[in-house]
Each structure stands twice: as C-alpha cells, then as structure tokens.
Chains A and B, each alone.
Chain A
C-alpha cells in the first residue's frame, strides 16, 4: 500500500527536551510538508521541502527544525525553544497540486 506513515501516534515531551516526529512516504513524491493543527485554527505550515537536501520555513517555523536527506523521509524536530508544542502534527506530500496526508502525531507536554 502506498502512503504516508507518521510515527509515533502519540508523543509526550518533558520540559527542555527535544523530540523528533517521523514522516515516511513511499509515493515517490518530491514535495513534503509539516503542519501544526490547533483547535479552531485549521492547519498552519511549519516547514516544507520541494526536493532532497532543500527545505524552506513556513509560517510558524520558530522552535522547529527539519532535515531532508532522503526523498522518502522528512522528520520534524520540536526543540526546547518551542514553548507551546502541544498540538496535532500532520505530515503531507504532494504531486500535481494535490496534497496527501499522514494520520498525524499528537504531541503533549508532561
């Protein structure tokens, strides 16, 4: 089955800790994205990558970092600088103007 796999489904972060969310796709898409979803606010773009070894900041990149070493993988690190990390995080890839989403990771702070 082709698709986007996000792991873990639930993640807890302690104060001052960095955590990494995994996103893997086997759709052979060049472009990948990370969004943050908060209740009543829709989706906000954190980072996106249009090609391997290249990525750009989205609207709310502060406190986050990414890498794109492989076409299939686009991990997101939530750093200790992100003071309000509790949210639902969605990864997506795109082809021909259509975005396809993973099932999401829910991050909470202990």
Chain B
C-alpha cells in the first residue's frame, strides 16, 4: 500500500526567507509525485509534478521539488517566500491513473 507523510503540519516563516516543506512517501512500485496548493475555501491547484526524467522539478510561483528515490522524499522548496504564498500545501503520490494518495497537508504561514 502507498502512503504519504508530510512531516510538518504548520510551517511559519518570515517574508523573503527560504522555505522547505517536507514530504516522504512509501510505495513498493514506481510512483508519480505531486505538490498541490490550496488557498482558503478553494480547490487544489497543481504546483508541480514528477512523472519521470530529471529529479529536480520546477513548478509555478517559483517553487521547486527534488525527487530522492533512496530517501523516498519529495521535498518542496522556495528560495524566497512572499505573503501571497500563505496557503496549505499537499504532497501526493500515485502509481496508476486511477487513484492518488494525499498527505495530510502543511499550512505555510508567512510573517511580514
């Protein structure tokens, strides 16, 4: 069975500071990995995805993530955050086209 663990439920950072949101997954087969962002009272929006190829994946809004197979991790990073990055972030994995498993989410709060 697959599982996704987001190690931090909340991450507070100061504006313009770097941030890393951690995600670990468990799967016995090859996976596809995703990060989604959710703003208050809205649906989820895809930030970036790893399907194959380069392990460093760049997404929208200046975010990037690195797939590390040996550590089964897919951490999300941004070198300098903005107030508008305040949101909840979900890591997810899938090994088929039919089902995707989501982590419990990390709430990113940006302090001015």
Contact = CB atoms under 8 A, between A and B. Distances in A.
Q: Do A and B come from one complex?
A: yes
Interface of A: 4, 6, 31, 40-43, 45, 48, 50, 88, 90, 92, 94, 96-104, 106
B98 interface: yes
A43 B90 contact: yes
B102 A94 contact: no
A98 B98 contact: no
Given A40-B9, A48-B98, A98 B41 contact: no
Interface residues of B, number: 22
Contact of B46 (A43, A90, A100): A100
Interface residue SS majority, chain B: loop
Given A40-B9, A50-B98, A101-B43, 12 more contacts: A4-B43, A42-B90, A42-B102, A42-B104, A48-B98, A90-B43, A97-B32, A98-B34, A100-B46, A101-B36, A101-B45, A104-B41
Contacts of B32: 97
10 contacts: A42-B90, A45-B99, A48-B98, A88-B41, A97-B49, A99-B100, A100-B46, A101-B43, A103-B43, A104-B41
Interface of B: 9, 32, 34, 36, 41-46, 49, 51, 90, 94, 97-100, 102-105
